[in-house]
Amino acid sequence: MQNDIQKILLTEEQIKTRIAELGRELSKEYAGKNPIFVGVLKGVVVFYADMIRAIDVPCQLDFMWISSYEGTESSGKMVVKKDVSADITGRHVVILEDIFDTGNSLDYTYKHLLEKNPASLKICTLLDKPERRRPEITLKADYTGFVIPNEFVVGYGLDYNEYYRNLPYVGILKPEAYQNK
């Protein structure tokens, strides 16, 4: 599997260091607020597990699963496959995401959760690829791990065709790897 990687963009060490920093920021911001961290499945799972353990305040965990309507990513139409389980009304909510790319997923998730009237709603994303953002999306992440160039990346939860999520770092695939999976 590691042979399929052309270049490591973010090492395990870089990710670990950055998550510790974000953890300190979030712990400060959310002290006494009992936040709920909503992870957007599935790409977030690895980041989520590390991120929540870097946060040193009482908090609750929840998940959403959304997908592009009828599998057409370009349409920008999304559907909720699994909604949050908790009642988030009046709660301080932080969305955790793997990557802020075109922005379709986060825009949809943000609006969906905002309708449930949380006390506050913020976004924490591991990766941000601003060059890919649809121009009409004005939403911004409140906490960002890394801003990355416009390259397709895998690992640390991110997939190509559902593979490579279990790589411990974020990397770029060799062109030939796309043909094999």
Catalytic residue among 98, 101, 107, 128: 101
> Is residue 101 within the footprint of ligand IMP (CB under 6 A)?
yes
> Is residue 43 within the footprint of ligand IMP (CB under 6 A)?
yes
Count CA within 13 A, CB hemisphere, residue 52.
Answer: 21
For residues 122 and 66, the answer to whether their CB atoms sit within 8 Å is: no
CB of 29 to ligand IMP, least distance (A): 24
**DSSP category for residue 133:** -
> Is residue 128 within the footprint of ligand IMP (CB under 6 A)?
no
The phi, psi pair for 127, rounded to 5°, reads -125, 150
> Is residue 43 within the footprint of Mg ion (CB under 5 A)?
yes
**Of these partners, Mg ion, ligand IMP, none, which one is at the site of residue 65 (CB under 5 to 8 Å by kind)?**
none
DSSP characters for 45-106?
Answer: HHHHHHHHHT--S--EEEEEEEEEGGG-GGG--EEEEE--SS--TT-EEEEEEEEESSSHHH
Q: For ligand IMP, which residue of 30, 46, 105, 169 counts as binding (CB under 6 A)?
A: 105
Q: For ligand IMP, which residue of 37, 48, 100, 169 counts as binding (CB under 6 A)?
A: 100
- 50 belongs to the catalytic site: no
- Binding stretches for Mg ion (CB under 5 A): 43, 98
- Binding stretches for ligand IMP (CB under 6 A): 43, 98-106, 152-154, 158-159
Please give the positions annotated as active site. Answer: 101
